[in-house]
Structure 1
Amino acid sequence: MAGSEQSETRATRRPGAPATPLTDVLEAVRAGAYVVDEQGRVLAMNSRTEKLLDWSPEDLVGHDAHDLLHRDAHGQPLPRTQCSMRQAFHAGRPAQADEDHFARADGSVLPISWLITPLDFTGLENCTLVIFHPRHLEETDTAPAPAATLLPELERLALLAATTTQLTSTLDVDEALRRLVTLVVPRLADWVIIDLITERDEVWRTVVVESDGVSLTRHDELEGPMPPIPEESPMPLSRALRGVASTLAGPQTYQGAPDSGIAVEQRRLFDATGIHSAAIAPIRSTRAVLGALTLGRAAQPGNYNPADLPLIEDIARRAGLALDNARLYQRQRKVAETMQNHLLPQMPRVPGLQMTVRYLPAPDASQVGGDWYDAFRLSDGSTALAVGDVVGHDLEAAAGMAQVRNMLRAYAWALQEPPSAIVDRLDEAVMHITDVAMATLILAKIQEEDAGRWKLTWTNAGHPPPLLISHDGLAEYLTEGHGILLGTGARRPRADATALLPPGSTLVLYTDGLIEEPGHTLDEGLNRLRQHAAALAHRPLASFTDQLLRRVRPQANDDDVALLALRAPARP
């Protein structure tokens, strides 16, 4: 872990390499800051650390921070048993000290104060953030920013760093809001209220949470739709929702005649919660005002003052950037899923056969696109089955998938030929009249033979093999009929294969997202699919399909999955 993160920090990046989120977090801290792993080795440091201690990144990164830096007042190594920072580090809890000492590269000692806190950051586990200040400001060329009254300076910096790391490491709006709540209560308030502006410019009171110092209580009765934002109202929440300014407020603020519906709701909020002091800040992104963050004190003593607003504004601004990213992601994902679902067809009804299909999008919206299934009746009375995967994972791949699927339907209907001949014609067309680079595909025809037996004829263009499971749980892959994928330009003969489906058997056609997993072989994925399919052989087809996806699809899957399952009738 240390090695992978070292290459991603500004202090250890190659010149001209792009910054990373961890880099941005450390460089935003106006103090010395570094991150250590669970063994206490330095993973990353900011340029302020280098300036204060004169240790280069090569000197610090990868080394034990305690052994290299921690000293007593006389410059002697500090025994680990006497180190309060190390004790808190191993306990996984925040801690701070006002008087301590770090060693400079030249052997001199720098008097410091420090704070440590566990770090929650994507790609890092069991890590700790260390922030330190020189105790004598004349030893530095830049004094730290004035401390806000809400928190000491080191705690303020640690809170802002934690806000950035925790909120930017999720693209789920609800999870981002949950993390925001846990960051600010009870540390800054015992009530937190979040009002968000929806995409239709409506205001929704999304979060009202109370903290008793130990647990959080959500007050659903105070949440819900809010009146529209008044254009000229000078009241604090109205100004914040217009992005005008942060403001302090109290019960007396809303005791006069209300100038809008929002003012009425604010009076109700103060009456219901007992908040005696509140600070309200806009939640902004770089593009728009997204809502407002309200911190309130009811049980906590003291009132907010103007010196508290910069910290709350900073938290709200970071929350706005994270929420905007999460909204953009969810919007992109919704567009991709809607497009994919509209492109995928409805299944035909085939007397005597059960058929079900599933499509699962990739976790990342940019990965949606290339996987598809199809089934349709042919002019000779048989039914065509197809599952394929267009190379690429984006909306362009989804468009290419639609081209391939529609051309396949046309060729299969017009050409009363074996599947191999149809796929040959499709391959030639893909090369000349589409932008599809390559694709894999299984095309099959199924038709009823005498005595209620069903015959399957298929050809495989570079796709994972179909799986046939008997009613008694014997599972085998149909590896015959295999040929080269579409779009290579190689003109090689394609083969057809034929099999009779045993009564009550289940046929599974699927895409590689079901079986491929980073760090594992394809054979491992195929064996996992065969094992679970055999165990589920007696399940009703819908349950069989759902359970198969749940059990087999890898947790680390970064691809979409299309699956078509068909069950032959049991013996009469």
Structure 2
Amino acid sequence: MVHDPSHDSPRSGAFPADEAWQAARDGATAQASQLVLDPQRLRQLLGTVVALSGDMDARTVLHRIVEAAAHLVGARYGALGVLSARGTITDLITVGIDDPHLCAALGLPQGHGLLHAMVGDRQPLRVADVAAHPRAAGFPAGHPVMRTLLGVPLMVRGTVYGDLYLADKTDGTPFDDDDEHLLTALASAAGVCIENARLYERLRRATEQFQRRMLPILPDLAPLQAAARYEPASELPRLGGDWYDAMVLPDGVTCVVVGDVTGHDVEAAPLMGQIRNMLRALAFDRCGPPGLVVSRLDRTLTMFADPPTATLVFGRLERTPEGYVFGWSNAGHPPPLLIGPDGVTCYLAPARHGIPVGIDASVPRFSHAHPLPPGATLLLFTDGLVERRGQDIDTGLDSLAEHAARLAGAPLEELCDALITQSGQVFDDDVTVLALRTPADSAS
């Protein structure tokens, strides 16, 4: 019945707080409406349900449920064990054992004895004398001795997600029917909370996999080096409209693009795929200046009754006798970052900045050009990399430039990984990064 806070297993509550507490409230309220409790205890139970707040994550909700169970029943100890799909305990939330060193030493229950019986039988368990029970396995050394036990499995639609149990009432009386009914109501809320967390995690993995499969594998752009990364938003909806692309055109020029379709729902990702393919076809067919290609994309999008909108940077890396030149057109997107081999950085942000595509095809597009020194790195990215709630975007751009400058000589794969994972940050939006590096030898 102990929890080691320094060795938490994967949190069962990694999903939006409003879903967690709402699920818990609904589950407990439904059960409470069917209970026959004295008015005071029923008011306390419903008050506990109402107190579950939207600023809690799911694990906090589960902890509040254990606290409420111990308080309402009047028990010295309470615990909630979370089971994995294989039936092993992966997390334990406790009340009444406050020594973190003891919790760390005892670890998680091993899945045998009375707790195992409760889960295996799928029935509430009430024990007046734990030591004398034939299925008791005893306590590990250092564990508080507990005489009485009341536990219920956490079940939703026939699936067992864990158990909620209490030990030793403070007044010394045995657990009774009312205690069992109240604990069952709270266990229902906890079970729904855990089930929603599992469903959320499966949805998170599925949406991320879907998005990644829509993005291309970078071709060999030698003698240029290239690397790309995509990171979904940290919270649902994780489907977004970010994309990158790179290819060698018939005229031998390397073409690159990074873009972001407006919206973050199930429609954004398919629209991203359509716009990416349109732009690829237009670039491959015409090989024109970047501004002309983006203008053609604008006109192509008018075939939609409700044209999708997107920001993007579309560019060409051309090799000249003097070295590489980057020509590009910007449609309302964060500017590319140029990182010199010496760590000097600058954003390629000319005054003639275009609007996103899909808004007005009559608005002119502009082409720009900038030389790329040997060994320079060109970084294209979406706004999720630099935008944070409550923070000016210029702060994010400055931070990115400083971080990238320190990695000017790092391999591109390492550079992209470092920019994505810096400070373990949580992304409010999905993120795409595309990095390209010119050969260190200008003769290449």
Q: Does the TM-score normalized on the shorter chain lie above 0.5?
A: yes
Find the aligned partners of 2:111 and 2:294 in 1 and give their Cα distance.
Answer: 55
Find the aligned partners of 2:222 and 2:236 in 1 and give their Cα distance.
Answer: 37
Mapping 1:126-141, distance limit 5 Å: none
Task: Determine if the alignment matches structure 1 residue 403 to structure 2 residue 403.
Answer: no
Tell which deviates more after alignment, 522-531 or 355-364.
Answer: 522-531
Measured against aligned partners, the alpha-carbon deviations of 1:154-213 in whole angstroms (never above 9, x if no partner) come to 6x6776556x338x8215xx6665665676679835463525474xxx534334577773
8 Å contact 1:516–1:554 — kept in the other structure? Answer: no
SS in 2 for 1:213: coil
Tell which deviates more after alignment, 501-510 or 347-356.
Answer: 347-356
Mapping 1:108-507, distance limit 5 Å: 145-147=39-41, 164-165=52-53, 169-171=56-58, 188=75, 190=77, 192=79, 194=81, 196=83, 198=85, 203-207=87-91, 213-215=97-99, 217=103, 222-223=109-110, 236-240=118-122, 246-249=124-127, 255=134, 267=135, 269=137, 276-285=147-156, 289-295=159-165, 297=167, 303-433=174-304, 437-450=308-321, 453-480=323-350, 482-507=353-378
8 Å contact 2:78–2:96 — kept in the other structure? Answer: no
Distance 1:303 1:384, change over 3 A: farther
Same amino acid, percent of matched pairs: 33
8 Å contact 2:242–2:431 — kept in the other structure? Answer: yes
Distance 1:253 1:438, change over 3 A: farther
**1:525 is matched with which residue?**
396
Measured against aligned partners, the alpha-carbon deviations of 1:5-25 in whole angstroms (never above 9, x if no partner) come to xxxxxxxxxxxxxxxx79x97
Larger Rg: 1
- Counterpart AA for 2:295: D
Choose from 375, 381, 384 the match for 1:510: 381
8 Å contact 1:191–1:208 — kept in the other structure? Answer: no
**2:5 is matched with which residue?**
none
Find the aligned partners of 2:166 and 2:385 in 1 and give their Cα distance.
Answer: 49
Aligned length: 400
Tell which deviates more after alignment, 365-374 or 202-211.
Answer: 202-211
- Counterpart AA for 1:247: L
Gaps of 5+ in 1: 1-20, 30-142, 230-234, 256-266
8 Å contact 1:515–1:553 — kept in the other structure? Answer: no
SS in 2 for 1:386: strand
Find the aligned partners of 2:318 and 2:119 in 1 and give their Cα distance.
Answer: 68
Find the aligned partners of 2:255 and 2:416 in 1 and give their Cα distance.
Answer: 20
Find the aligned partners of 1:473 and 1:318 in 2 and give their Cα distance.
Answer: 55
Deviation of residue 507 (structure 1)? 1.0
Mapping 1:4-19, distance limit 5 Å: none
Find the aligned partners of 1:288 and 1:492 in 2 and give their Cα distance.
Answer: 60
Find the aligned partners of 2:403 and 2:379 in 1 and give their Cα distance.
Answer: 12
Find the aligned partners of 1:537 and 1:434 in 2 and give their Cα distance.
Answer: 45
SS in 1 for 2:303: helix
Tell which deviates more after alignment, 300-309 or 562-571.
Answer: 300-309
Deviation of residue 271 (structure 1)? 6.9
Find the aligned partners of 1:312 and 1:551 in 2 and give their Cα distance.
Answer: 44
Distance 1:515 1:145, change over 3 A: same
Mapping 1:561-572, distance limit 5 Å: 561-571=431-441
- TM-score under structure 2 normalisation? 0.75
Tell which deviates more after alignment, 536-545 or 332-341.
Answer: 536-545
Find the aligned partners of 1:553 and 1:432 in 2 and give their Cα distance.
Answer: 42
8 Å contact 2:70–2:166 — kept in the other structure? Answer: no
8 Å contact 1:282–1:289 — kept in the other structure? Answer: no
Find the aligned partners of 1:415 and 1:270 in 2 and give their Cα distance.
Answer: 78
Choose from 428, 431, 434 the match for 1:558: 428
Mapping 1:98-109, distance limit 5 Å: none
Find the aligned partners of 2:302 and 2:423 in 1 and give their Cα distance.
Answer: 34
Deviation of residue 398 (structure 1)? 0.9
- Counterpart AA for 2:437: R
Find the aligned partners of 1:145 and 1:299 in 2 and give their Cα distance.
Answer: 20
Deviation of residue 502 (structure 1)? 0.9
Find the aligned partners of 2:439 and 2:66 in 1 and give their Cα distance.
Answer: 55
Deviation of residue 511 (structure 1)? 0.9
Whose RCO is larger (CA < 8 A, sep 6+)?
2
8 Å contact 1:195–1:203 — kept in the other structure? Answer: no
- TM-score under structure 1 normalisation? 0.60
SS in 2 for 1:482: coil
Deviation of residue 268 (structure 1)? 7.0
8 Å contact 2:247–2:254 — kept in the other structure? Answer: yes
Measured against aligned partners, the alpha-carbon deviations of 1:285-333 in whole angstroms (never above 9, x if no partner) come to 5x56443424254899765333321232232122123223323332322
8 Å contact 2:309–2:358 — kept in the other structure? Answer: yes
Alpha-carbon RMSD across the aligned residues, in angstroms, is 4.0
- Counterpart AA for 2:126: L
8 Å contact 2:343–2:406 — kept in the other structure? Answer: yes
Deviation of residue 466 (structure 1)? 0.8
Measured against aligned partners, the alpha-carbon deviations of 1:390-440 in whole angstroms (never above 9, x if no partner) come to 000112101111111122222222222222222222222222158652111
Gaps of 5+ in 2: 1-20, 30-36
Distance 1:308 1:349, change over 3 A: same
8 Å contact 1:192–1:207 — kept in the other structure? Answer: no
Find the aligned partners of 2:216 and 2:423 in 1 and give their Cα distance.
Answer: 24
Distance 1:378 1:182, change over 3 A: farther
- Counterpart AA for 1:419: P
Choose from 548, 565, 569 the match for 2:419: 548
